[in-house]
Structure 1
């Protein structure tokens, strides 16, 4: 008879089938049940017990509870303390529903046998009080109003829940004063309300609020402890009252130091009573999970046939599977856990439960609910749900699994284990022998489930790293399949997968590529200072671009303090993280403040690139991998290491992959751009240095251009500067006490002070000056002052500024006044020239008519004279007009600028003001040096000639 797959036998609950289950519903909430707001599976007592498997520990506890409420013995105080997710709250809920008696005990599945064993025919209804420390956190500082009564303390809340205002009256005085009631008062309270039960959950969270020496409206730390002491004693005195309290299992769950202290004190007082509590056993977990996730097993006989087929498989291949799987007891385990294979539970409860945030029962439920839903919707036809069945290709299942693991598992799953792009899928598709049974995928899933929790943990869940081959086969093989095919598949995986490791018959996945033992040994040879850091430095290469220099891992003394913009790349030890003060900030500040032992002047010319704190460890590891593979490949080439052809090829491929990954890692690591700045306000001084940080896109082809782009976008580097901004800066910082300021001094100060704009270079600054001098809105320029007059003055006209120590930037108001003065002087000079111009009345050389014996007075040409008549030539001797002019002058090299300015104003201006006059001006410069010109002078002259459009120039 053909075996049926699990989906034809076991039917999941509707919420699992539809994928509508909520993770929060797996977390039992005692307060919500008490308030009547919980989901049906927790609120409805009958439904709750239908889905609850009564474990041995729960059975013993319920037995004690029913005996106590019936006055037939039982423990008065029970402490529930087990690991995170161990079922404490779930057990309290079972006691809650049983004690309240809202639903007859006969309808509560699993309860009648407990009552029969205790010889109790009818359990009396009990008053139930629920003290949830999390729900009552606010009570410590703010009273609760109960029918107009302000309840202030834990004991006041207890009394009110048990018996309302009447019961509260017994502890009213203690509640109002915040002092703990005595044993007698509490005994009277419990006796009056008996049979009663008090359920306390998260008490440590509540008590830890009360710091020693501090009094809240809910009392003090000491009164809380006194109350607990008196309460445990009072329950002993009332035969039909019981107290159940859950306490954290570990200090980590207790939280703060105050929480740990409170836990120790509560353990002391509760510890005097033997708690009837046992953690959930793995076999019990089978039934817990099955009840919660599966509605029923529709065909028990078919299920038994499947379990027997698995047992036969293990018995018939005893050498391939773990010892113990051939015993009759393992068949019982198969039947108890069906349709989930016992190996799934073993791995989850033994390995995954060792993870800090994986709750034993709740974590298994959450993961398996997603697994079952996906297997159901994808039409999975496995006989049982084995480790090899896990649908890790499904995003929901994958995310749930890696949620509990350290970062880095996504690429492992995607590349090596499961999914359309996984190597295992390609291997199954390439080889029909594997593909028919999905051998590679099933093996990889099994290894992942058994090894992932131990990844990167020294002395982790298992003593030895990895999963034995026998257990890998146990998790993958099904009845009717050839086990040998899985053995072949395991060997193929070792040769192919990048993240699979194998040693001593064990297999494990890691978030790092499977660097062979030889490579791992070699990695340890490389020293950070001598090998790794120099290697990283060599890989950090940048085009200079906008920077005058890029300084990688350069000491502060070797970073020049000049006018060039410089990029300083910090070493791997100077890491940056946004969360806190980083070593990168300290290192950058050190370079910014000093050049070696000297103070640094040009601070506004430095930009820094820092490595990411989280990425540096991975970068170091990747570099050592490259170095290790490089040494292996080199040794193979030089015959110092003997490898077969396949291994040699694998080593070369691994080197290529590692080198490529290392290149990406360098870019991903060195991604933080750090830019210093300061805020300055007039009259309020300069603030501390602030560090702006930005991420550099690691995929940018030209990182220098990307850095420049970031700086420009955030206005931290100015490549094109409008004159209006220059004018504003001059008004704010330079013209306060002087009508003019040295342009070179302004440029140099922008290079020094972090509160001033950071310009790309001096050409950006000079371009702003050239643009601004064309207008009369911003500033004027001149080249010095002589006799209180600006020399080489320009304002509101085109000019090419030469940035040297003589160039001045003049306030617009001052420049406007001086320009007006020049206009007046120019008008006066013209008038004088016109007065001196002789009238042409004849042909003689003196401007007289040859027949003029009386010496008539001549008339000026221009205003006040008839220009047409005065310029008319006489009939006897026509005047010849001059049509060209040429002049040359020798200038003093030191005063050339001022002398040329005078020539331009006194001579050139007379031509340029005449319409239609074409003027050409040429400058010839001859310079000689007996000892020759130095390289700096040659380079500077030629560069300036390029800027000033000097076309004919050469050095001999």
Structure 2
């Protein structure tokens, strides 16, 4: 759903829209109105009430004044005491226009209901006296002349304003002598002038100029206080007279020490008879500002639609926004504040109003008038005016904001917050994801609005520093937008901005450069080869476990990568990155390593797999590594007392270091994302193709990097960890059993698979041996022999389980050849047994050669026949064999393997031959065997199921 922009629903007043307003117009000046010289919106009672929102406090006060002037009760003295800019003078103006009666009450917006509630049909016109302490400052030492009548004191001025010379006669003697009139004289004066209203503004300023012990023509300090006391008492005696007096809210507003003293005294006297006055609530301030800045709401349904969309958006993303936004009342706040977001008011009224010279309502009006004028001029189409909308690139808006702040904020805004030369603009120009919604500028503006006043309070330890993340998001995010986009923008700003600080999930701008500037300066010290690449290498090394690889070589030269049978992973350096879009240095570097080991040719090419960095990510990775190195050096210098940081900055530096380290870890995984594998094609009649490089992306989010690489290799059949015998048989048929060659050494096949890029790449020789063992019992794949002499296979085995020792003598035999050889061998055995049986019964005179016959040759078996020898009649048949041998304990493993191949298998390959092997081990030590050795040997003997295994004392 598309939300209507605020400019189509709420139209600013013409002076705001056209930028013709004057700063002074926002300052309600009671004296100028009384003199008839104020601007129309303040001078004209009808216009004044049109642009005035009658707050609850003002309604109660006007109700009391109306009743008082009509003689129906009401309070005689009302003291207005609110914070600077809290609406005191504006309230007095409302009383002034209401009491003066220059316009009928029926034409004053919001007034008729007040009269009705008070039971007053027609309010009588009242005489009005305006005693503005600032306007009357000179009266203390210099008399004023009104139409020939000279007045010297505050009470003289009061009398003259209420009734001219006639009223002046009541206090003439007191005015001439500078002494305070008594309660009776003042009561008579008020009674003669009733109904009447006295408006006292800035009274503290006037009284504070009278120093104790010093007499001026306007009286003394004590006479001023005596006058106030007598006046408040006299008002109680006149039922149709009322006094409104405004006093400063705080000592700071009172000014000097004498001003504070005067404030305390006046509070005492007014406090004895004052009525309570409810100050302006924040929600009421919404309407005050809206009434003054905007004409009206043109489309209330559209307004409610916008506010509802914002309220629903906050509820849908409840984890990201302040708790208050989850309350149904927040929708009402949005409606009351429209078209300005409530967060703008909260920041101005809660934060900016704490500044010495920022008046609550007047200051908000002045700032927002400039904001609205610029947004209107620029055609801003946001649905609401938010903290992120404040156009600080506009000179008028920026100057209005920094006017209330200490020196030094202009460069902060210009560099870090807003403007064509700011970092935020640069980031958005390079990243359209941010630029499309001005995510960086809006975020920086919101942080400025919410944190700039804090820098003043922090100096006096009055406030927690910074704006919470949830409030930053509240000031920028709009319905239909992803909240995470602004979180990403905030992370980017934290990395780039010089004046932005953050700690404990709070963010603030300050006029003092943050540690980032120091970090940026240090980043320039670090060079690629000397600093950055070694750091990346160290981090990559941490990420790997060995897994399937016999060796992992990170940024290693070709001369230091062994040319052996182990599977090896080669991680190329960042300056040899891979790009899918064109020729890359990764392929060139990998090709060099593949072809040569140093200056020598490399043979085992099919044992190398490569990992390369992504070309488009390398520069970012190097930048993040430099940031990490810079933060590490700052933290190191702080710990070694080479630099001085306060506690907060030290924590920030440590947190930034940890964040930078995590960013480097993540960026390394995102950057080293390409797996490169060399392959070749063998084309019939055309030989081998050139080396081709297959590339596959790695998942940067995988838990285990080594396992992820292994997964990609296996899924794309670049690495085989389990191999079916049929595939081995096909490789043998295609590449090794050619022409008249019907057998091939198994070791040759394994070694060729390690060397030739067109052959399958096996994980290790165990995979190869397991494949041979799995195919041993089948007639479909291959036969075995442990050697070949004079055309005969030694240790021949086919279609049955057998133990295999893969050495240079183990042969893989083509299955048809193996079948024919086995058939010939069987026929030879049968003939041999027949002749042996015949010789045993004496029925034959044929002689049999020693050894029981002749084994068929491979060539003969291939022809399907064999050559038989004769037997000698009467020869004794030998049925048992016994042999013993001493083995060298160092070479025993190899000697025993030879013994099995050359002797034992001669018996096991023949049917009906039972073979028994016993091993006897004797060991002697002149010094004896220690307990540890005895324990290990006994345990191992038990596992191996020795019949006897004992240690003896010996002779």
Contact 2:454/2:463 (<8 A) preserved? no
Contact 1:13/1:294 (<8 A) preserved? yes
User: Counterparts of 1:153 and 1:635 in 2: how far apart (Å)?
Assistant: 67
Residue equivalent to 2:27: 27
Residue equivalent to 2:292: 292
User: Counterparts of 1:467 and 1:641 in 2: how far apart (Å)?
Assistant: 21
Asked if 1:631 corresponds to 2:644, the answer is no
User: Counterparts of 1:334 and 1:73 in 2: how far apart (Å)?
Assistant: 39
State the SS of the aligned residue for 1:444. helix
Closer/same/farther in 2, CA of residues 456 and 186 from structure 1, 3 Å limit: closer
Residue equivalent to 1:225: 225
State the SS of the aligned residue for 2:84. coil
Asked if 1:132 corresponds to 2:139, the answer is no
Asked if 1:501 corresponds to 2:501, the answer is yes
State the SS of the aligned residue for 2:82. coil
State the SS of the aligned residue for 1:476. coil
Residue equivalent to 2:351: 351
Residue equivalent to 1:240: 240
Contact 1:632/1:641 (<8 A) preserved? no
Contact 1:80/1:275 (<8 A) preserved? no
User: Counterparts of 2:459 and 2:219 in 1: how far apart (Å)?
Assistant: 46
1:809-831 alpha-carbon deviations (Å, 9 max, x no partner): xxxxxxxxxxxxxxxxxxxxxxx
State the SS of the aligned residue for 2:336. helix
Moved more, 468-477 or 140-149: 140-149
Asked if 1:325 corresponds to 2:325, the answer is yes
* Aligned-pair CA distance for 1:324: 2.1
Closer/same/farther in 2, CA of residues 626 and 140 from structure 1, 3 Å limit: farther
Closer/same/farther in 2, CA of residues 279 and 508 from structure 1, 3 Å limit: same
1:212-238 alpha-carbon deviations (Å, 9 max, x no partner): 222222222222111111111100000
* Aligned-pair CA distance for 1:317: 1.0
1:579-625 alpha-carbon deviations (Å, 9 max, x no partner): xxxxxxxxxxxxxxxxxxxxxxxxxxxxxxxxxxxxxxxxxxxxxx9
Closer/same/farther in 2, CA of residues 101 and 645 from structure 1, 3 Å limit: closer
Residue equivalent to 2:52: 52
* Aligned-pair CA distance for 1:102: 1.0
Residue equivalent to 1:431: 431
1:834-881 alpha-carbon deviations (Å, 9 max, x no partner): xxxxxxxxxxxxxxxxxxxxxxxxxxxxxxxxxxxxxxxxxxxxxxxx
User: Counterparts of 2:206 and 2:356 in 1: how far apart (Å)?
Assistant: 23
Task: Please give the residue correspondences for 1:790-801 in structure 2 after superposition, counting only pairs within 5 Å.
Answer: none
Task: Please give the residue correspondences for 1:290-439 in structure 2 after superposition, counting only pairs within 5 Å.
Answer: 290-439=290-439
Q: TM-score, normalised by structure 2?
A: 0.55
* Aligned-pair CA distance for 1:304: 1.0
Q: How many residues align?
A: 545
Point out where structure 1 has 5 or more consecutive residues left out of the alignment: 523-624, 652-956
User: Counterparts of 1:441 and 1:318 in 2: how far apart (Å)?
Assistant: 24
User: Counterparts of 1:635 and 1:74 in 2: how far apart (Å)?
Assistant: 70
User: Counterparts of 2:210 and 2:13 in 1: how far apart (Å)?
Assistant: 45
1:357-376 alpha-carbon deviations (Å, 9 max, x no partner): 11111111111011001111
Q: TM-score, normalised by structure 1?
A: 0.55
1:110-138 alpha-carbon deviations (Å, 9 max, x no partner): 11111111111111111111111111112
Closer/same/farther in 2, CA of residues 399 and 148 from structure 1, 3 Å limit: same
Aligned alpha-carbon RMSD (Å): 2.9
1:277-331 alpha-carbon deviations (Å, 9 max, x no partner): 1221110110010011111111111111111111111111111111121221000
Closer/same/farther in 2, CA of residues 642 and 164 from structure 1, 3 Å limit: closer
Residue equivalent to 2:103: 103
Residue equivalent to 2:164: 164
Contact 1:635/1:641 (<8 A) preserved? no
Residue equivalent to 2:201: 201
Residue equivalent to 1:606: none
Point out where structure 2 has 5 or more consecutive residues left out of the alignment: 523-630, 643-652, 665-955
State the SS of the aligned residue for 1:458. helix
State the SS of the aligned residue for 1:502. strand
Contact 1:134/1:205 (<8 A) preserved? yes
User: Counterparts of 2:97 and 2:406 in 1: how far apart (Å)?
Assistant: 40
Task: Please give the residue correspondences for 1:779-928 in structure 2 after superposition, counting only pairs within 5 Å.
Answer: none
Residue equivalent to 1:82: 82
Closer/same/farther in 2, CA of residues 384 and 645 from structure 1, 3 Å limit: closer
Residue equivalent to 2:478: 478
Task: Please give the residue correspondences for 1:716-731 in structure 2 after superposition, counting only pairs within 5 Å.
Answer: none
User: Counterparts of 2:656 and 2:169 in 1: how far apart (Å)?
Assistant: 88
Closer/same/farther in 2, CA of residues 107 and 645 from structure 1, 3 Å limit: closer
* Aligned-pair CA distance for 1:632: 6.3
Closer/same/farther in 2, CA of residues 650 and 232 from structure 1, 3 Å limit: same
User: Counterparts of 1:112 and 1:351 in 2: how far apart (Å)?
Assistant: 36
Residue equivalent to 1:114: 114
User: Counterparts of 1:483 and 1:235 in 2: how far apart (Å)?
Assistant: 60
Closer/same/farther in 2, CA of residues 646 and 192 from structure 1, 3 Å limit: closer
User: Counterparts of 2:324 and 2:348 in 1: how far apart (Å)?
Assistant: 19
Closer/same/farther in 2, CA of residues 297 and 641 from structure 1, 3 Å limit: closer
User: Counterparts of 1:643 and 1:22 in 2: how far apart (Å)?
Assistant: 46
* Aligned-pair CA distance for 1:165: 1.1
User: Counterparts of 2:192 and 2:514 in 1: how far apart (Å)?
Assistant: 70
Contact 1:454/1:461 (<8 A) preserved? no
* Aligned-pair CA distance for 1:461: 9.3
State the SS of the aligned residue for 1:210. coil
Contact 2:497/2:516 (<8 A) preserved? no
* Aligned-pair CA distance for 1:71: 0.6
* Aligned-pair CA distance for 1:512: 1.9
Closer/same/farther in 2, CA of residues 648 and 298 from structure 1, 3 Å limit: same
Contact 1:60/1:276 (<8 A) preserved? no
